[in-house]
Structure 1
Amino acid sequence: MVLLLAAMVVMVFGNVVLRYLFDTGIDVSEELSRYFFVWLTFIGAVVVGRQNAHLGVETLVSRLGERGRKLCMVLSDLFVIGCCAVFFWGTWQQAEINATNYAPITEISMLWVYGVGFFASIGLGLMAALRILRVLTGRLSDHELRAFAGDYSDDEAHTLRGHLE
């Protein structure tokens, strides 16, 4: 992600400088920076999913007990898996079309751009499935269950202790 972001910054900043100083730009960098942004967004979604940091509404879940929280967690993860399956299927259906469409400037197959749907759907779906498995086998940590309900008090205490030491 850092490399994609750095490349985007270099390409966009370079184009701004070239347009300002020489009234020209590099067309390839415009196209590639757009594609890098797409990949950066989807890779970021998977990374944030791994850290359980996606937006959530904990108003109801925080009022439930342990069993209710686990039920909500499993239900939300089943919903995530369903969405990932639809996303994967849509990417699969479009793959042949995207493989034969080429970018106007770089002439790379658009499957390299839109194929990120495979990565994101598999990554997020596997993480949700593994979390369901941890819930069902009793291996879900108390910290993860509290974080699902919006309780990050352990994180704050740990961070505060780390700063004081």
Structure 2
Amino acid sequence: MTRVSRFFFRFLDILLALLLSAMALMVFVNVVMRYTMNSGLPLSDELSRFAFVWLTFIGAVVVYHHRQHMGMETVVAQFGRRGRLVLMGLSDMLILGCAVVLTHGTWKQLPINASMSAPVSGLSMAWVYGIGLFTGAGIILITLERLYRLATGRITEAEIRGFGGEMDDLYNTAERPPVKAGERGE
């Protein structure tokens, strides 16, 4: 993975943490205000919902990048190396198709959302629903890179094992020293 890619996904990790923190803080303040003063901040409700949408869609790209999304590992684990490679290619093609539909649909819907404003903050709803463009484009780019590596034979054995549900660390492919019987907590 290139340095730029690592920096970008580190930035997304930090952004996700900030969104989650802001969302939790806004909801907490609103709960306290409603309990103690019988009032709340409508802007806080709206912005926390927007943060949740962004958190979900940005998180989808990060999870997909780390291959931590849901899969049918029980089925894939029944196949050998060649079968897993074929299934990996098929699943990536399906994911690519879905991401293209998401991106295209978001692009077509964007002018409609841009003409609407959020009721409390007045923000254009394009800021809320436009995140689908980022998610779709991010998943498309990641999938194209994976398909390229699959077609050129650059997929690592750790990735193939991980695709089948074997819990190896995909990002640390260095050999680990064997664990002695007494160190396992037996």
Higher relative contact order (CA 8 A, sep 6+): 1
Is 1:56 matched up with 2:71? yes
**Corresponding residue pairs, total:** 160
Is 1:131 matched up with 2:152? no
Higher share in helix: 1
C-alpha distance in 1, partners of 2:54/2:165? 29
C-alpha distance in 2, partners of 1:96/1:130? 30
Cross-structure match for 2:39? 24
- TM-score, normalised to structure 1, is 0.92
Cross-structure match for 2:137? 122
Q: Would the aligned equivalents of 2:149 and 2:155 in 1 still touch at CA under 8 Å? A: yes
Is 1:66 matched up with 2:81? yes
Match of 2:26 among 11, 18, 40: 11
Is 1:109 matched up with 2:124? yes
Q: What root-mean-square deviation, in Å, do the aligned CA atoms of Structure 1 and Structure 2 show?
A: 1.7
- TM-score, normalised to structure 2, is 0.82
Per-residue deviation, residues 46-92 of structure 1 (Å, max 9, x unmatched): 11101100011122211212111111001100000000011111101
Letter in 2 for 1:150: G
Cross-structure match for 2:49? 34
C-alpha distance in 2, partners of 1:153/1:83? 28
Q: Would the aligned equivalents of 2:19 and 2:51 in 1 still touch at CA under 8 Å? A: yes
Cross-structure match for 2:10? none
Gaps of 5+ in 2: 1-15
Cross-structure match for 2:59? 44
Q: Would the aligned equivalents of 2:42 and 2:120 in 1 still touch at CA under 8 Å? A: yes
C-alpha distance in 2, partners of 1:135/1:153? 19
Is 1:151 matched up with 2:166? yes
Letter in 2 for 1:136: A
The list of structure 1 runs, each at least 4 consecutive aligned residues, that deviate by more than 4 angstroms after superposition, is none
State the identity as a percent.
Answer: 47
